[in-house]
Structure 1
Amino acid sequence: MRQATPCKLPDILNTADGKERRVGVEIELSGLGYEQLVNLVAELLEGEAALESRYVSKLETPLGCFVIELDSDPIKDLDLADERLPLSIREFGGQAMEVIDAAAERIVPLEIVSPPMPFSGLNQIETLVDKLREAGALGSREAIYFAFGLQLNPELPDLKPATLVRYYQAFAILYEWLKARHQLDISRKFTTYIEPWSSRYTDLLIADDYAPDQQQMMVDYLESNPTRNRALDLLPLFAHLDKPLLDQYVEDPRIKSRPTLHYRLPDCDIDNPEWHFSNVWNDWVVVEQLANHAEDLAELRALFRDSRKINLRNLTRSWQETSANWLKSKGYV
């Protein structure tokens, strides 16, 4: 059993301009009605909710503006009272919408999207998650069709290519370890949302002499991973760095420009009393620490390259086991 621990802070806490780094958090869940969830979060965060549109509410709190929505554009945009529809359909619209809404709230995830929050304030998200569990929130394990995630959007210390490459390398090396730690529910394992980066790109990335400029860094990634569906999605970052270059490979209105990584791997197992937001966050901090300790990163990168060779030793030992033992021996966990 993994006990809840306080949300840890990485060594690099500030950006290059001296401000505390921030992170956005996205939580998908079910088990609560939409209005019930909005009212509960407003109460817990001492905020005031305003309905912006169908199934989209903004919640002004002392922590900033949260958004609570149903994660389905077709249902959010559905309007059976539209005057363009035949009168016979509009007359039954109210009853139909009640049925549709009841079904949607059971199948489609409700999503809480936080504002960018200082790393030091994340224990408030831990408290929020615990209170939602007590209120009856459900996560991925509740049904085979639930593939709910908990996503992190951590701001980077700076946007220099050398810094970014270190973070990419640390994540690529620790992907199997992270996947095992998160104990992904079967519903998430069957989705394409959390795929690892392509092997071709990973082999290029982990070479000791890999030192691209920004344009080459983006091209190398996009030629092998032109999709949002990766466990660590770089497209929001690339939209911030060079939107015209990104558009040559991917055009998707869902991509939002921001100077962050988009970590999509963890599932949201919110109704499991052994699952905690802090455990997910603290595992991410291991990536942070490895990315910013050059000697350790070089050592584990070399071991990772060796693990990808075909030999008897690698056939009898998994990289997940090797990396877990190395992290423990170095005091990362």
Structure 2
Amino acid sequence: MNAVTFQNLPVAVNAEGDARRTGVEVEFAGLGEGDAAHLLAEALKGRARRTDSHDWLVEGSVIGDIEVYLDAAWRKSEHAALREAGLRLGRDIIPVELVTEPLDRDGLTQLASACDVLRDAGAEGSGRGMLYGFGVHLNVEIAGEDAAGITRPLLAYALIEDWLRKAMPIDRSRRVLPWTAPYPTSGVKALAKAGPEAAPREVMEIYLKRMADRNHGLDMLPLFAFLDSAAVEKATGQAKALKARPAFHFRLPDCRIDEPDWSLSTEWDRWCLVERVAVDCGLLDRLADGWLDEHGLITLSRSGWAERCGTILASAGLTADRKAA
């Protein structure tokens, strides 16, 4: 197994002083959901139990309970024949997904080792099929409900997203599928003008007005539903279907579980970089000013900002490497 480490978040604790935790979702193919559940149970000292035709639960593992299931929206359909037919027809492109409880850094390390076990057993990631587009989702607990905890990480991601996609490219299968669409320039412009001190309520209103879609690299709807489910329901009609939680839903990263040099820590580093930008208000201001200067009335290309953003980040000692220089 790969020896990996998970770096500390720049703000390591939440408002109560407890270590921030992160729930993880990993999508993959190549293994059935039952086989995956049993492998995880063995690796993490739990018990695999089938809970539905395509749903399993790994109970009592060293990192808590883990759901493992075939990730199809209709798997919970009350029409059993239709459900089974759909799942059989779509199995070649429908991923198996594992979903953990919120984990501390030690739990993330143990999960990364368990992913190595799945890889050795034949798990496949994004690059193994044109229609796979499998991802890793990190549900990172917020540090607080103020501007530092919500506004600045959102703004940081919005401002560096184009650079992230260029410096740490995602697989082509995920670029062409709609699951991780970039934020629209109108939304980024509104966030940049609001600035790092904007109240979370203000940035929530911007988000719900201009980018209220789950299919972004950073999906804020679960967090905003936690803060104000009525506002999210009014804007999207989705609040009741969301798993509201005080966490960022970072869904940009690929799952490259079949690649020997890949680890969950690689994707964790992407998010840590976002938060390193977020804690530097001076850097946020420079990025916001640069973004607004780069974008006129019409944005014909995003590549120019990606390059300029990289220059600004490098001047602050931040690169695509694991840590700040």
TM class by shorter chain equals: 0.7 to 0.9
> Residue 262 of structure 2: SS of its match in structure 1?
coil
Quick one: which of 252, 273, 276 aligns to 2:263? Answer: 276
The runs of 5 or more residues in structure 1 that have no matched partner are 83-95
Question: Are residue 132 (structure 1) and residue 133 (structure 2) matched?
Answer: no
> Residue 187 of structure 1: SS of its match in structure 2?
helix
The runs of 5 or more residues in structure 2 that have no matched partner are 320-325
Closer, same or farther: CA 209–269 of 1 in aligned 2, 3 Å? closer
**1:34·1:105 contact (CA, 8 Å) conserved in 2?**
no
Closer, same or farther: CA 209–254 of 1 in aligned 2, 3 Å? closer
**Aligned equivalents of 2:87 and 2:201: distance in 1?**
45
Q: Residue type matched to 2:162 in 1?
A: E
**2:71·2:95 contact (CA, 8 Å) conserved in 1?**
yes
Quick one: which of 283, 290, 299 aligns to 2:277? Answer: 290
Normalising by the residue count of structure 1, what TM-score does the alignment of the two structures yield?
A: 0.85
Pairs within 5 Å for 1:11-26: 11-26=10-25
Q: Partner of 1:36 in structure 2?
A: 35
**Aligned equivalents of 2:14 and 2:130: distance in 1?**
41
Normalising by the residue count of structure 2, what TM-score does the alignment of the two structures yield?
A: 0.87
Q: Partner of 2:64 in structure 1?
A: 64
**Aligned equivalents of 2:312 and 2:202: distance in 1?**
32
**2:22·2:103 contact (CA, 8 Å) conserved in 1?**
yes
Encode CA deviations 1:281-319: one digit per residue, 9 max, x unaligned.
1121011111112222222332222222489xx989722
Q: Partner of 2:322 in structure 1?
A: none
Encode CA deviations 1:1-37: one digit per residue, 9 max, x unaligned.
xx98522112210001110000111000000122211
Closer, same or farther: CA 107–172 of 1 in aligned 2, 3 Å? same
Q: Residue type matched to 2:289 in 1?
A: A
**Aligned equivalents of 2:302 and 2:234: distance in 1?**
43
Q: Residue type matched to 1:228 in 2?
A: R
**2:133·2:174 contact (CA, 8 Å) conserved in 1?**
yes
The number of residues matched between the two structures is 314
Q: Residue type matched to 2:157 in 1?
A: F
Larger RCO: 1 or 2 (CA < 8 Å, sep 6+): 1
**2:145·2:200 contact (CA, 8 Å) conserved in 1?**
no
**Aligned equivalents of 1:30 and 1:122: distance in 2?**
21
**2:126·2:132 contact (CA, 8 Å) conserved in 1?**
yes
1:100 positional shift:
6.6
**Aligned equivalents of 1:329 and 1:218: distance in 2?**
30
Q: Partner of 1:257 in structure 2?
A: 244
Q: Residue type matched to 1:183 in 2?
A: P
**Aligned equivalents of 2:11 and 2:196: distance in 1?**
23
Q: Partner of 1:195 in structure 2?
A: 181
Q: Partner of 2:144 in structure 1?
A: 158
Identity %: 31
Q: Partner of 1:90 in structure 2?
A: none
Encode CA deviations 1:161-200: one digit per residue, 9 max, x unaligned.
4531111111011111222244222221112211122211
**1:4·1:279 contact (CA, 8 Å) conserved in 2?**
no
Q: CA RMSD in A?
A: 2.7
**2:55·2:67 contact (CA, 8 Å) conserved in 1?**
yes
1:38 positional shift:
1.0
**Aligned equivalents of 2:213 and 2:45: distance in 1?**
38
> Residue 246 of structure 2: SS of its match in structure 1?
coil
